[in-house]
């Protein structure tokens, strides 16, 4: 639950705002002046500060400046509430690093929309900071697989690019696309348990070799479950070999019971496999691979996702 510190010396207004925000599902920590709010900041670590400006003991400007001087307060969004609309007041707030300004009197939807916008923006910023921090580690892990299987060199990067493009076409949100990106890069990480001679084999796999190969989604998923910032990508890794008609592995899931990440990766993984040289087949032209996807839509692949992928790839 997201935490909001609410600072206002007008007690009736403070209570009204608290009720409004709690009704939206936020945890609200009220304070009647800046001094009380600053002391409360350390124990609550709020996701957003909503503060009046003109208050006793410590005003909103002083509170904002004090919070910004804290290492943990630099990135916390700050929303000012004020009846003062003079340009000098707005400029001072901006110079101190305020994120938004809501002028009194305001309607309930204005407050809720302003709060939601600030929190959404913070989540996106944190998401991209996390992505940048972890992407190199993810790529390093994935390279372990590609060095063991030279025939798939470049496969993970191509799958990543195709997956992100298709997710954009399907209107996935930014957070889900970032998770998908990690999952696309790591979808074959479980092949670490598959012997190199099996990965590089040019002929048909034996029954025992197929058993080994089919373990890789489960092994990869277990590896990611133990890493906090990669756990959300488990559905990508675990389900990218499931089939729309239930004939896939490891669980034989069918149709919409397959998480959408797995359904999407099944399409782009198969397309890249068909259009590149592998130990067991030569590459085919992209147009022929698209025809194969169309032929197996509703059988192996999610038909709606195939219908979105084909024209987006051609364009």
Q: For the purposes of burial, counting CB atoms within 10 Å of the CB of 236, is it exposed (0-12), middle (13-18) or buried (19 or more)?
A: buried
Tens digits of per-residue pLDDT, 24-81? 999 999 999 999 999 999 888 888 889 888 888 898 888 888 888 888 887 788 888 8
CA atoms lying within 13 Å on the CB side of residue 38: 17
Tens digits of per-residue pLDDT, 83-120? 765 555 555 555 555 666 778 888 888 888 888 877 77
Helix (H, G, I), strand (E, B) or coil at 226: coil
Structure tokens at 73: 């307060």
Q: CA torsion sign, 82 to 86 to 90 to 93?
A: negative
Can you tell me the distance from the alpha carbon of 55 to that of 37, in angstroms, rounded to the nearest whole number?
11
Can you tell me the distance from the alpha carbon of 309 to that of 166, in angstroms, rounded to the nearest whole number?
6
Residue 129 has pLDDT above 60, yes or no: no
DSSP assigned state of 297: B
DSSP assigned state of 32: S
pTM: 0.60
Q: Is-contact 188 156, C-beta < 8 A?
A: yes
Q: Is-contact 33 57, C-beta < 8 A?
A: yes
Q: Are strands 27-31 and 100-103 parallel, antiparallel or unpaired?
A: unpaired
Structure tokens at 221: 């998923």
pLDDT category at 314 given cuts 50, 70, 90 is confident
Tens digits of per-residue pLDDT, 138-194? 766 666 666 666 656 688 889 999 999 999 999 999 889 988 988 998 899 888 888
- Return all residues near 107 (Cβ < 8 A) that are at least 6 apart: none
Q: In angstroms, what CA-CA distances link 266 with 71, 258, 289?
A: 43, 11, 13
Lowest mean pLDDT among 53-57, 116-120, 287-291, 307-311: 116-120
Q: Is-contact 52 60, C-beta < 8 A?
A: yes
Q: Is-contact 244 258, C-beta < 8 A?
A: yes
Structure tokens at 188: 């074959």
Instruction: List domains and CATH numbers for the chain.
Output: 3-106 (3.40.50.2300), 130-314 (1.10.3210.10)
DSSP assigned state of 251: S
């Amino acid at each position: 639950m997201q935490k909001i510190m609410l600072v206002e010396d007008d007690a009736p207004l403070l209570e009204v705002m608290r009720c409004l925000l709690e009704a939206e599902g936020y945890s609200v920590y009220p304070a009647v002046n800046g001094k009380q709010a600053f002391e409360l900041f350390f124990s609550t670590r709020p996701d957003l500060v909503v503060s009046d400006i003109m208050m006793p003991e410590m005003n909103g400007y002083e509170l904002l400046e004090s919070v910004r001087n804290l290492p943990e307060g630099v990135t916390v969004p700050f929303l000012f509430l004020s009846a003062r609309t003079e340009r000098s007041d707005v400029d001072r707030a901006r110079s101190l690093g305020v994120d938004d300004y809501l002028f009194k009197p305001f309607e309930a939807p204005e407050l809720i929309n302003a709060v939601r916008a600030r929190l959404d923006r913070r989540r996106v910023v944190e998401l991209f900071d996390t992505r940048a921090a972890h992407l190199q580690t993810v790529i390093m892990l994935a390279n372990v697989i590609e060095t063991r299987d030279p025939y798939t060199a470049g496969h993970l990067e191509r799958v990543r690019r195709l997956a992100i493009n298709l997710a954009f076409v399907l209107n996935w949100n930014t957070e889900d696309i970032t998770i998908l990106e990690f999952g696309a890069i790591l979808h074959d990480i479980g092949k670490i348990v598959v012997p190199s001679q099996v990965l590089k084999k040019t002929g048909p796999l034996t029954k025992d070799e197929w058993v080994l190969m089919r373990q890789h989604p489960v092994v990869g998923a277990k590896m990611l479950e133990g890493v906090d910032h990669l756990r959300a990508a488990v559905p990508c890794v675990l389900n990218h070999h499931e089939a729309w008609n239930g004939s896939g592995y490891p669980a034989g899931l069918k149709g919409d019971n397959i998480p959408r990440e797995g359904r999407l990766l099944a399409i782009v993984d198969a397309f890249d496999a068909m259009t590149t040289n592998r130990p067991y087949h030569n590459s085919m032209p992209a147009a022929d691979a698209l025809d194969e996807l169309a032929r197996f839509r509703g059988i192996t692949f999610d038909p709606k996702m195939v219908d979105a992928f084909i024209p987006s790839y051609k364009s």
